[in-house]
Amino acid sequence: MDYAKVCLHRGEERDIRSGGWWVYDNEIDWIDDICTDGGIVDVLDSRMQFVARGYFNRRSKIAVRVLTRDESEVIDRDFFRRRVETAWNFRQSLGFSNACRVVFGESDGLPGLTVDKFGDYLSFQTVSLGIEQWKPDIIEILVELFQPKGIYERNDVPVRAKEGLEQITGCVYGEVPPLTTIREHDAAMLVDIAHGQKTGHFLDQQENRGRIAPYCPGRTVLDLCCHTGGFSIHAALYGASSVESVDVSEEALQMVLDNAKANGVSDKITTTCGNVFDIVRKYADDSKQYGLVICDPPAFAKSRKALEGAYRGYKELNLRSMKLVEPGGFLVSCSCSQFMTPELFLKMLREAAADCGRQARLLEILMQSRDHPATINAEQSHYLKGYILQII
């Protein structure tokens, strides 16, 4: 099949040939007159040699999102079915079944597509014009492969505007209930697919919630930015004597209480609603301390320009959190800001420990769950990082 062409400036092909997934508009020398936004194009180097094939969109700074580097591979419905099926088989080989991320964009060779599985239901996002063109086929493929009770579209993310796309949500297949229950380790967790964060639930912390088990028995726990209580419920089930769940959202905290009831740990969990910075400052001033503090805030750095301010915010929050850990207790600290690299985040933690006069021992390094595999050639895919520290 003959595709429209875009040609790169000399040398700009190196990143794509080394595994990169994006071609930026300023890297392109010329574009075929027949190129259509959302259509498939071949990317050529300055010597007119084939480099890659992918979606094209002149309205986006990411002009081409790479689908394949195999010139013989045709982009059709079968292509997308193979990619989704391969992604799902990989998750199953790792032991995921009930709830997981089925498709993680570039990491699964499907740029702009996210698919999450919550028991018998699926939730998806399409954040590029190219994958949007294939949305009807994607929905059909998901029905064929999973036979779900319902599929919900969560295209309510602002990034779609950069691709010239409107925000839209709704059930596109079957029926999706207001709440559904998934299994995470030994916990039953309620998920609001239509209104919950991301595509309904923070699946990227699923494996990390299981890793706090050794640090919970007999300890008091403070879970900061707890959302619907993923860490809180697991801490209670893993033997914590008490858990205080803190979030700015009353709705999220009600879900914490509902999840606590569903897991039989209501007697261990209390909730506190408020700004996390104000709360940790007050608790530190009051000399409160806990055996385990979990600090998992939303992304402070949405862009590189915001990184300096985000660094200060992370440092202040973690410094206060360290003060709240009793001697010999533990701190689980995470960041989902892709621009806050693991090295930079660890540097911040070192500075926070020094400034509050505490020694910190590194016990575990965390990243997103394995159903969110990070592509080492796509820096943005390794966005979640964390450390488990013992605070002396």
Phi, psi of 111 (to 5 degrees): -55, 135
Tell me, yes or no, if 225 is annotated catalytic: no
Give 105-152 as a DSSP string.
Answer: GGGGT-TTEEEEEETTEEEEEE-SHHHHTTHHHHHHHHHHHH--SEEE
Q: Which of 171, 273, 336, 356 is catalytic?
A: 336
Residue 264 to residue 94: CA distance in whole angstroms: 29
C-alpha Rg value of the chain to the nearest Å: 23
Residue 189 to residue 139: CA distance in whole angstroms: 26
Pairing of strands 220-224, 290-295: parallel
Structure tokens at 362: 């590194």
User: What is the strand order of the sheet 121-126 is part of?
Assistant: 99-104, 113-118, 121-126, 150-155, 168-174
Residue 133: strand pairing partners: none
- What burial class does residue 285 get, using C-beta atoms within 10 Å of its C-beta: 0-12 exposed, 13-18 middle, 19+ buried? exposed
User: What is the strand order of the sheet 325-335 is part of?
Assistant: 269-273, 242-247, 220-224, 290-295, 325-335, 385-391, 360-367
Pairing of strands 220-224, 187-191: unpaired
Query: Which residues are catalytic, by number?
Result: 336
